[in-house]
Structure formats: structure tokens, C-alpha cells
Amino acid sequence: MLTTHALILAMILFCTGLVGLLVRRNILYMLLSIEVMLNAASLAFIAAGSRWAQPDGQVMFMFILTLAAAEVSVALGIVLQISYRFNTLDADAISEMKG
């Protein structure tokens, strides 16, 4: 029963992140939505690992945590460069880049 609730919560979080990614045009909000989706996947792995009493879910959580940290560091560097060059974080305005 607890696993079902955790997986439902993970599904709700993932859908919330997906809707935020598709609806928002600000790059920072898009990055936050991706982080919410990664956290939902982490929760699903931990719930599944707990259900079968295996440490695999916790190992995958550590991989996802490492991936999220690397993604944030690279993405924030890119966001700072975009903000400096275009003076906006609107994805529609930036999509017309040339080069």
C-alpha cells in the first residue's frame, strides 16, 4: 500500500514537472521543472527498491542525484551566458540565435 502511494506521488510530481516544462517559457522555470521530474524518478526508484527489499533503488537515486548536480552546474553556466548576451531568459526570444 505504501509503495502504491509513493508511486502515485512520483507520477503526480513527474506530470507537474512535465507540464511546467511545456508551459513555461522562462529558462530558470524550465530547469526547475526538470529537477522536479528527476526527483520524481528518484522517488519511483526508491519506492520500487523498497517494495522488493533491494538496494538498487538507492543506488539509482545516487546516480540521479549526481546527474542532477552536474546538470545544474552546466545549465546555470549556460543560463548566465544567455542572460549576459541577450538580456532575457525567455526561451522564445533566444530560439532565434544565429551562428
93 domain-assigned: no
**pLDDT at site 38:** 96
Range of the domain at 82: 1-87
Burial of 80 (0-12, 13-18, 19+ CB in 10 A): exposed
Residue 97 pLDDT exceeds 70 = no
pLDDT tens digit string along 1-42? 789 999 999 999 999 999 999 999 999 999 999 999 999 999
Inside any domain, residue 94: no
User: Which pLDDT score is estimated for 46?
Assistant: 95
According to DSSP H, which parts of the chain are helical?
A: 2-23, 27-51, 56-86, 91-94
Look at residue 96 and tell me whether its pLDDT is greater than 80.
no
**Can you give the CATH number for the domain in which 11 is found?**
1.10.287.3510
**Would you say residue 41 lies in a domain?**
yes
In a domain, 97, yes or no: no
**Domains: count for the chain:** 1
Residue 96: alpha-carbon gap to chain centroid:
25
Give residue 98's pLDDT band: very low, low, confident or very high (50, 70, 90): low
